[in-house]
Amino acid sequence: MVFSSVPFLFYFLPIFLTAYFLSPGTLLKNVLLLAFSLVFYAWGEPVFVYFMILSIAFNYLIALLFQASNPLARAAYLAIGVASNLAFLAFFKYSAFFVDNWNHAVGDILRLEPGQPIALPIGISFFTFQAISFLIDTWRREVQPERNPLHVAVYISMFPQLVAGPIVRFKTVSAQLHRRRTTYGRAAAGLRIFLIGLAQKVLIADEVAQIADAVFDKVQAPAFLEAWLGLTAYTVQIYFDFAGYSNMAIGIGIALGFTFPRNFRLPYTSKSVTEFWRRWHMSLSAWFRDYLYIPLGGSLGSRLATYCNLVTVFLLCGLWHGASWNFIVWGAHHGAFLVAERAGLGRILQRAPPVARWGYAMLAVISGWVWFRASDLERAGSVFAGLIGLNGLKGLSIPTHLAVYPTSVTALVAGISLATLLRDRTHSVSTATHRIAHHHIAFPLLAVIAVIAVLKVASSTYSPFLYFRF
């Protein structure tokens, strides 16, 4: 089930919110939230609910073992817990990738049988990272040990951010699991943020997706203008698709009395790749910083050690996104730019005009999206060839021409404008999106946009969020 679908908007969400707000006390609200979350997750593939329940039970029991007084025992339990979560993730997500690459490396000598493809549980990367966060935060004693299994179950399975983030730390919501404030005012504010996210998804991301899909999937060798058009469309699509989901999740969270972390802060206004990663998928970059980069030594060691830590983090960040060499290369792409900026490029950029710094950052980021979107390395090479004119300068091919029509072009222009021209001078949760949602002048416009977005959902086919596959 996805947020931008008829079953969710017209059945699941209204029934859930009605039951939730009519339920007295936090205990019953948590029971309802858990029950509806499991139904939400089971909608597409019921069997994976059992894996979710197994993950909840395992991580709860490991956290209870942290009560041991022996430091070595506590460390051993943490190692077992984290390793088991990662092994669970690796089995589903990377086993086929490992077998394929092993077979390519060894030939017929020690060849492994590929076996049947393993179905990937939706959102496994997100809820696995949340489970690891729960274990580490508890082990570090940054939160009180959680003895109530219901609270752990709600935290790991909570449907608003379950399948595509933002990644919520246990210490962020642990107090709210015990007691939280739910009012109709918060519900109304959350609903407005939810509707903004819905509009970002269905009115911008889904419209420009048709251009991106045509160029990346249907054109063998895109020409210069065509390649840039497709890449620009995907740059807009992935931002508004993912930011739209994040706003929808944050909006539902606010309505339920939770405070979820901000996930985007106008990343396409960045003037360096370093700044981009402070604005893009902020919950993931913060997770890697706190649970991997800093434990590796961060920037406290030598320059070479710092560079190695950065590259390691971003190679794993790329691999986290998918079992493909394209994602690994995408991670290496960003890691290389971050190392270059720390090694001296950043100081050079500081002396350049703002527009030049912005142009550099955008070129670095959007060229990386080629690796991220292309189906394989060969396809990425074809798109890169088109971007530099090696595939010719001719006009649009038939598939791309058919995808370019008034609504998709309007969505592309609107997306570029909203992503690059808005300015946000605050680092708090009161983002530009949230301020618009609370501004009384925006209510009529938001109402019109919401009606159009809902009508679009009602008349469209199934359109999952891009990050569902991660």
- Catalytic (active-site) positions: 321
Task: Specify whether the backbone of 281 is left (phi greater than 0), alpha (psi in -120 to 50) or beta.
Answer: left
Start-to-end Cα distance in the chain: 15
Per the CB < 8 A criterion, the answer to whether 164 and 469 are in contact is no
Task: For the beta carbon of residue 352, count every other beta carbon within 10 angstroms.
Answer: 13
Q: One-letter amino acid identity for 425?
A: R
CB 192 within 8 A of CB 437: yes
**Of the candidates 179, 175, 181, the residue with the CA atom closest to the CA atom of residue 21:** 181
Output the six-digit token pair for 387.
């971007």
H/E stretch holding 225: helix 224-256
Q: How many Å is the maximal CA-CA distance in the chain?
A: 71
Nearest to 334 by CA among 370, 296, 380: 370
Per DSSP, 10 falls in state I
**Nearest in space to 133 (alpha carbons), one of 115, 121, 146:** 146
Q: Cα 230 to chain center, whole Å? A: 22
Find the helix or strand (DSSP H, E) in which 154 lies: helix 149-157
- Residue found under tokens 């669970």: 88
Backbone angles phi, psi at 416, to 5 degrees: -60, -45
Distance of alpha carbon 40 from alpha carbon 22, whole angstroms = 20
- Which residue is associated with the tokens 């088109």? 386
DSSP one-letter string for 361-406: HHHHHHHHHHHHHSSSHHHHHHHHHHHTTTT-S----HHHHHH--H
**At CA 328, angle to CA 322 and CA 334, rounded to 5?**
115
**Rounded distance between C-alpha atoms, residue 21 and residue 172, angstroms:** 23
Distances, alpha carbon 35 to alpha carbons 39, 126, 229, 442, in Å: 6, 19, 44, 35
